[in-house]
Structure 1
Amino acid sequence: MPGIGSTELVIVLTIALLLFGGKRLPELAKSVGTSIREIRSGLNDLADETAKPDPPEKL
């Protein structure tokens, strides 16, 4: 499956510009970036939590 080429990227950005307008597009990009950052942070926290060994049980 080939990646997204420059022509496809231009088409997607043009459609986004038409749908959301030039004023809301930067706000939308910022919120998407913030969401991706929060998801990555949550996944890293989950991976750190699962990587820790369980403490030994006391008898």
Structure 2
Amino acid sequence: MGLDGPAVFVILIVVLLLFGGKKIPELMKGLGKGVKEFKDASNGANDEEKHNS
């Protein structure tokens, strides 16, 4: 169940209408920070498992 071209296009238009053009860069920046923090936390948990083994 992949997203094809028209579905992605419709989703992008809806996001643009909901948040406006000026809010999208802020939204993406926050999303990027969240993903980075999640990856850092995951790597920290993996490091702790290796040290405890």
Whether TM-score is above 0.5 comes out as yes
Offset, 1:46: 0.4
TM-score, normalised on structure 2?
0.87
Offset, 1:38: 0.6
Structure with greater helix share of residues: 2
Q: Structure 1: which 4+ aligned runs deviate by more than 4 Å?
A: none
Take 2:45 and 2:27, find their aligned partners in 1: how far apart are those partners?
A: 27
Unaligned 5+ segments in structure 1 are: 55-59
Take 2:52 and 2:45, find their aligned partners in 1: how far apart are those partners?
A: 13
1:8 paired with 2:39, answer no
- Paired residue secondary structure (1:27): helix
